[in-house]
Amino acid sequence: MGRAGRPTVAIELSEDERATLERWARRHSSSQALATRCRIVLAVAQGVTNLEAAAQLGISRATVAKWRHRFAADRLEGLVDAPRPGAARTIGDEIIEAVVVETLETAPKDATHWSTRSMAERHGISRQSVSEIWRAFGLKPWRQEEFKVSPDPELIEKVRDIVGLYLNPPVAAAVFAVDEKPQIQALNRSAPTLPMLPTTPAKATHDYIRNGTIDLFAALEIATGKVITDLRPSHTSAEFVRFLDKIDAEVPADLDVHVVLDNLSTHKTPAVHEWLLRHQRFHFHFTPTYGSWMNLVERWFSALTTKKLQRSAHRSVKALTADIRAWVETWNEDPKPFVWHKSADEILQRLAGYCRAINK
């Protein structure tokens, strides 16, 4: 005996209904749910059973039965979702468009950018509404990022060269990102720092006492994240050559050494050129002008600053030196390499997009 259930309703389509269903099913702006419902009706209109339509479309038989009966009762309107319950929207599309356009293209008379308060007063809406509109469109007028377009005539070649070293390093070679962090100050707060307590952050005085400076040379090995460092009283060309000697001593003799570094004058003196002639396995790769962001050792310097130096206090250069060396030793116990993700083409395409935007 067959199982009882809702009787199958025959579906017959007019030419207009069929054309509309086919258009909704294939247009890109339709939701996937609406497109599936249209395909269900088109399928059952050919006389197939609910089970056959379900197998054809890869859905359940219950879903086919639901939308067959919904279409039979309400035709095309039955396929569209009914409005969900909730408060009616009080802000019209015109106001939303005006808020977005004015945020992007204008500024108030007394400021460089709009605030939620000033924009709300202008349009007679709440600050929360302005905030929600900005959030929906990804607008943050209070933020401004800095940049500098490199005027280097060899910009493209240098970008491809350095990114190539990061993403596809040469065989039988070690790649290092090298730079100096000059004038690291041994700073001591003018009063002891109050420790953090529940509900209360640590408190430190805004003023400090300077107790001298030290220069840090660092070479970050791209493959492993290990760092070779040297602390010197200055960062002259002679000190840089001594640091190159240290890298040379620590890298196995059978490996070539590729060094990424910036265009600092101390990297290009006659003494450095003479050193390179005596050490043929070393190869320098210079970042573009104003392109030190491409040097991965800058990311390591940032970690050193935020994790150690920024909130430390030192009464002498000797204490500062010991603190930096201890931090470096801890880092090298379990080094973490910084992974480069952007290809050279992605970098250059983004730069080209910016140039097009400012030269319209």
Question: DSSP per residue over 4-73, as a string?
Answer: P-PPPPP----HHHHHHHHHHHH-TTS-HHHHHHHHHHHHHTTT--HHHHHHHHTS-HHHHHHHHHHHHH
Assess whether 188 and 227 both reside in one domain: yes
Assess whether 299 and 175 both reside in one domain: yes
Q: How far apart are CA 331 and CA 224, in angstroms?
A: 12
pLDDT reported for residue 52: 85
Task: Flag whether 346 is in a domain.
Answer: no
Residue with tokens 């001594």: 242
Neighbours of 351 (CB within 10 A): 16
Say how many domains are in the chain: 3
Assess whether 178 and 318 both reside in one domain: yes
Task: Flag whether 145 is in a domain.
Answer: no
Q: How far apart are CA 155 and CA 315, in angstroms?
A: 44
Assess whether 189 and 312 both reside in one domain: yes
Query: Which run of H or of E encompasses 216?
Result: strand 208-221
Determine the Cα angle at 355 with ends 353 and 360, to 5°: 100
Assess whether 25 and 114 both reside in one domain: no
pLDDT reported for residue 84: 59
pLDDT reported for residue 331: 95
Task: Flag whether 260 is in a domain.
Answer: yes
Task: Flag whether 109 is in a domain.
Answer: yes
Instruction: Specify whether the CB–CB gap between 229 and 328 falls below 8 A.
Output: yes
Assess whether 72 and 109 both reside in one domain: no
Torsions phi, psi for 140 (to 5 deg): -135, 75
Assess whether 177 and 274 both reside in one domain: yes
CA 65 to chain centre: 47
Instruction: Specify whether the CB–CB gap between 21 and 41 falls below 8 A.
Output: yes
Q: How far apart are CA 93 and CA 275, in angstroms?
A: 68
Q: Residue 162: exposed, middle, or buried by beta-carbon count in 10 A (0-12, 13-18, 19+)?
A: buried
Task: Flag whether 35 is in a domain.
Answer: yes
Assess whether 74 and 106 both reside in one domain: no
Q: Read off the amino acid at residue 95.
A: I
Assess whether 171 and 275 both reside in one domain: yes
Question: Mean pLDDT per segment of 10 residues, for the chain of length 360 residues?
Answer: 56 82 70 80 85 84 84 78 63 88 91 93 92 91 86 92 93 94 88 85 85 93 95 91 95 94 91 95 94 92 92 90 94 93 91 80
Q: How far apart are CA 19 and CA 28, in angstroms?
A: 16
Instruction: Specify whether the CB–CB gap between 176 and 226 falls below 8 A.
Output: no
pLDDT reported for residue 7: 59
pTM, rounded to two decimals: 0.67
Torsions phi, psi for 183 (to 5 deg): 55, 50
Instruction: Specify whether the CB–CB gap between 213 and 256 falls below 8 A.
Output: no
Q: Looking only at Cα atoms, what is the longest distance across the chain?
A: 100
Task: Flag whether 67 is in a domain.
Answer: yes
Task: Flag whether 58 is in a domain.
Answer: yes
Assess whether 107 and 175 both reside in one domain: no
24 lies in which domain range?
Answer: 15-79
Task: Flag whether 5 is in a domain.
Answer: no
Assess whether 272 and 188 both reside in one domain: yes
pLDDT reported for residue 3: 46
Q: Residue 290: exposed, middle, or buried by beta-carbon count in 10 A (0-12, 13-18, 19+)?
A: middle
Give, to the nearest 10 degrees, the angle between helix 32-44 and helix 15-26. Answer: 140
CATH (domain of 335)? 3.30.420.10
Assess whether 246 and 175 both reside in one domain: yes
Q: How far apart are CA 30 and CA 116, in angstroms?
A: 34
pLDDT reported for residue 5: 46
